[in-house]
C-alpha cells in the first residue's frame, strides 16, 4: 500500500479483511501482526480485524475446551506486546471469564489489552450455534481514539437495534463492527439494508470489517464496507480477496467522525459471486487441510466439467487429476469431450475403463442374482466401481476426491451412496442444475474451457443404454423451482401448487426430497451459496413419518 500524506484533520482507520484458519492461533496472530505493520506504514493508527480473527470462525466445539480458550488468551496477550507502537488494533477472539465464554473483541494498545467487549446478540439460526458456546454481553465497548469515541459491535449486534443504541448511549460517535458474516447469494443486499437501518436509528456512521475465506462448508466473502451518517456506502472493499484498506474519518467540527468517500469496488453478478465463492472455498478447504491436490471423475457431462473448471481455477492445473471411467454405456462423444476439456485445461488425464471390473462383479453375483433382470442395482454398481477407483487413487497419492453432483440431484437422491457420492468435498452441493448451466456459460465467457457440446446435450448418467435424467426426474427448471420453494423457503405443498406447478410434480419432488435425507446425511460437505443448503442450516430427521399435505 502506497503511503500518502495524511491530513491532521483526519483519522485513518485500517480495515484488515483477512483470511484466518480455525485453530491456527499463532498463524492468525502473525497475520494480524503483519497487517498491523502494513497499516502503520500506510499511515493508519487504528486497525479493525474480523470477528474471532484470532481463533478463526467458527471454532465450534473447540470453544467448549478450556485449554483452547486459554491458549487464545495467551496468544492475545503475546500479540498485544508484539504490535508496533503508535497503532491500536481491535481484535476479535473468544474470551473466558468467571466460568463463561464470550465472543469478544479487545482493544490492544501500547502493549496492553485496554478494553474487552462482549458480543450482545448471539445468533442461533441457520448456520449459527452461538448460544451453544457463548454467554451474551450487556455492556457497551466504547474507547477514545484521536478524540473520537469509537463503539465496538460484533456481527449480529448490528442486525438488531439494541446494541448500537447501547453504544450511542455510552457516547459513541463512530461504530466499529467486527464480522464473520458468511456468504450467500442474497447476503450483500441484506447487509446494506440492515446497516442503513442501524445508521438511520442512531445517526452514527460505521466501519464494517468482514472475514474472507473458506471454512468447511461456509465461505466468507469479505465485502467490507463503510457507511456514512446519511446511510450511504462511501467505501466498499472487493469480494473474495484479502485486502488492507484505509478509511479516512473526518475530524473537522462540521463533519466530525464521518467517513470520507473512497474507492467503491464494483459489484459482482450472481454468476460471478457464485463462481468466486466456489473457487475460494475449494481452494481453502484443500490448502488449509494440507491436501496436495484433487482428483475427480470426468464423465463428459456438465456437472463434472464445471467441477473440473472450478478445481483448476482454485488449485492450478498441475494439482488436478481428471479420470474418465467409461463403461459399455458411455457414448463416444462423452469420452471425446472429456479428452478435449482435459487438454484445454492442461490437467493430468487418465482413462480407466470399468467394463472388465463390472463384468467380474456381475459374474460373482450371477448365482444370487439368478432370475433377475438388469435394473438400478447394476446401474449403481457401475457408480460404486468408479467411486472405488477414485478412492484408490486418493489413498495412493493423497489427493482429495471431489464429488461432482449438484443440489438438484442431492435433493431428490439422484445419486449413488458409496458411488458418485464417495469423496471428500462436494463442490456443487448447493448449486442447482439450472445454475450449473449458467455458471458453465459464465466460465466460458472468461475463456472457452467447457466444450459446447457438453453444455447443450441432454444430461445423462449413462448407466444404461439411451438413459437421460428426465427419464427419472421432472424437467430441471420445474424441479429446481419446486426444490427452492420447499428447501430454501419452507413453502408448503399447497403454496407451491399455487405458484402454478402441477400437483403430481410437486408431490413427486417433495416425496423424493423427504425420502432421501438418509443419503444427504452421508454426503461430503460442500460450499454453501444459498440461504439454505444441505448442511448446517437444514437439520431434518432421517426417521420421520411427517408428510406435508397442506
| Residue positions forming the annotated binding site for L-glutamine | 181, 187
The angle at the Cα of 376, spanning 404 to 469, to the nearest 5 degrees, equals 50
| Other Cβ atoms closer than 10 A to 220 | 28
The grid coordinates of residue 138 equal 450487556
Q: Is the peptide bond before 58 cis (omega within 30 degrees of 0)?
A: yes
Longest Cα pair distance anywhere in the chain, in angstroms? 91
Which residue in 448, 384, 389, 377 sits closest to 421, CA to CA? 384
Q: Which of 40, 155, 281, 433 is catalytic?
A: 155
Task: Give, for 273, the enclosing helix (H) or strand (E).
Answer: helix 270-288
Place of cell 463503539: 151
418-429 core/surface letters (b: 16 or more CB in 10 A; e: else)? ebbbbbbbbbbb
Give the span between the Cα atoms of 50 and 140, in whole angstroms: 18
Give the span between the Cα atoms of 402 and 526, in whole angstroms: 10
* DSSP E strands, 2-140: 10-17, 46-48, 88-97, 100-109, 112-118
Q: Which of 40, 119, 407, 429 is catalytic?
A: 119
Q: What are phi and psi of 255, to 5 degrees?
A: -140, 35
Give yes or no: 51 in active site: yes
* DSSP E strands, 161-200: 174-179
| Residue positions forming the annotated binding site for ATP | 297-304, 404
Give the span between the Cα atoms of 178 and 153, in whole angstroms: 6
Lay out the sheet containing 400-403: strands in order across: 348-351, 320-324, 294-297, 400-403, 425-426
Q: Which of 20, 40, 51, 429 is catalytic?
A: 51
| Residue positions forming the annotated binding site | 181, 187, 297-304, 380, 404, 409, 519
Contact criterion met (CB below 8 Å) for 427 and 304: no
Contact criterion met (CB below 8 Å) for 428 and 307: yes
Cα four-point dihedral sign 519, 520, 521, 527: positive
The residues assigned a catalytic role are 51, 119, 155
Amino acid at each position: 500500500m502506497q503511503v500518502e500524506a495524511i491530513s491532521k484533520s483526519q483519522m485513518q482507520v485500517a480495515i484488515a479483511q483477512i483470511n484466518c484458519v480455525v485453530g491456527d492461533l499463532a498463524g492468525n496472530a502473525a497475520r494480524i501482526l503483519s497487517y498491523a505493520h502494513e497499516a502503520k506504514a500506510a499511515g493508519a493508527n487504528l486497525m479493525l480485524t474480523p470477528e474471532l480473527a484470532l481463533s478463526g470462525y467458527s471454532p465450534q466445539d473447540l470453544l467448549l475446551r478450556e485449554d483452547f480458550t486459554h491458549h487464545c488468551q495467551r496468544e492475545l496477550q503475546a500479540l498485544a506486546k508484539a504490535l508496533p507502537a503508535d497503532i491500536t488494533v481491535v481484535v476479535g477472539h473468544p474470551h473466558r471469564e468467571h466460568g463463561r465464554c464470550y465472543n469478544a473483541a479487545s482493544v490492544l494498545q501500547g502493549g496492553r489489552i485496554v478494553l474487552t467487549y462482549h458480543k450482545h446478540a448471539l445468533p442461533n439460526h441457520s448456520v449459527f450455534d452461538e448460544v451453544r458456546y457463548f454467554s451474551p454481553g450487556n455492556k457497551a465497548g466504547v474507547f477514545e481514539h484521536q478524540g473520537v469515541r469509537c463503539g465496538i459491535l460484533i456481527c449480529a449486534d448490528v442486525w438488531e437495534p439494541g446494541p448500537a443504541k447501547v453504544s450511542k448511549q455510552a457516547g459513541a460517535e463512530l461504530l466499529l463492527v467486527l464480522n464473520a458474516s458468511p456468504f450467500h447469494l442474497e447476503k450483500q443486499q441484506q447487509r446494506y439494508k440492515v446497516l442503513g437501518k442501524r445508521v438511520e436509528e442512531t445517526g452514527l456512521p460505521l466501519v464494517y470489517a468482514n472475514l474472507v475465506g473458506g471454512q468447511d462448508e461456509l465461505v466468507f466473502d469479505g465485502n467490507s464496507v463503510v457507511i456514512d451518517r446519511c446511510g450511504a456506502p462511501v467505501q466498499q472493499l472487493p469480494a473474495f480477496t484479502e485486502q488492507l484498506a484505509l478509511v479516512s474519518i473526518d475530524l473537522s467540527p462540521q463533519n466530525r467522525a464521518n467517513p470520507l468517500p473512497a474507492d467503491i469496488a464494483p459489484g459482482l453478478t450472481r454468476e460471478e459471486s457464485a463462481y468466486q465463492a466456489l473457487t475460494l472455498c475449494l481452494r481453502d478447504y484443500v490448502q488449509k487441510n494440507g491436501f496436495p491436490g484433487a482428483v475427480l471423475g470426468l464423465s463428459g457431462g456438465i456437472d463434472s466439467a464445471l467441477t473440473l473448471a472450478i478445481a483448476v481455477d482454485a488449485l492450478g492445473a498441475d494439482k488436478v487429476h481428471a479420470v474418465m471411467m467409461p463403461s459399455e454405456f458411455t457414448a463416444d462423444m462423452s469420452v471425446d469431450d472429456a479428452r478435449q476439456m482435459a487438454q484445454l485445461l492442461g490437467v493430468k488425464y487418465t482413462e480407466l475403463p470399468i467394463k472388465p471390473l463390472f463384468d467380474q462383479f456381475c459374474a460373482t453375483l450371477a448365482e444370487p442374482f439368478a432370475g433377475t433382470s438388469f435394473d438400478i442395482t447394476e446401474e449403481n454398481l457401475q457408480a460404486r466401481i468408479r467411486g472405488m477407483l477414485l478412492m484408490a487413487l486418493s489413498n495412493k497419492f493423497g489427493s482429495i476426491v471431489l464429488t461432482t453432483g449438484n443440489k438438484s440431484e442431492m435433493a431428490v437422491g439422484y445419486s449413488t451412496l458409496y458411488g458418485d457420492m464417495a469423496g471428500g468435498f462436494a463442490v456443487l452441493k448447493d448449486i442447482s442444475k439450472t445454475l450449473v448451466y449458467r455458471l458453465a456459460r459464465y466460465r466460458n465467457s472468461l475463456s472457452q474451457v467447457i466444450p459446447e457440446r457438453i453444455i447443450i446435450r441432454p444430461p445423462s448418467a449413462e448407466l444404461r443404454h439411451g438413459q437421460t435424467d428426465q427419464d427419472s426426474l421432472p424437467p430441471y427448471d420445474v424441479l429446481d423451482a419446486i426444490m427452492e420453494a420447499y428447501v430454501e423457503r419452507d413453502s408448503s405443498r399447497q403454496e407451491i401448487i399455487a405458484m402454478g406447478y402441477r400437483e403430481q410434480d410437486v408431490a413427486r419432488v417433495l416425496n423424493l426430497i423427504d425420502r432421501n435425507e438418509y443419503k444427504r446425511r452421508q454426503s461430503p460437505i460442500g460450499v454453501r451459496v444459498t440461504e439454505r443448503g444441505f448442511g448446517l442450516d437444514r437439520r431434518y430427521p432421517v426417521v420421520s413419518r411427517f408428510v406435508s399435505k397442506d
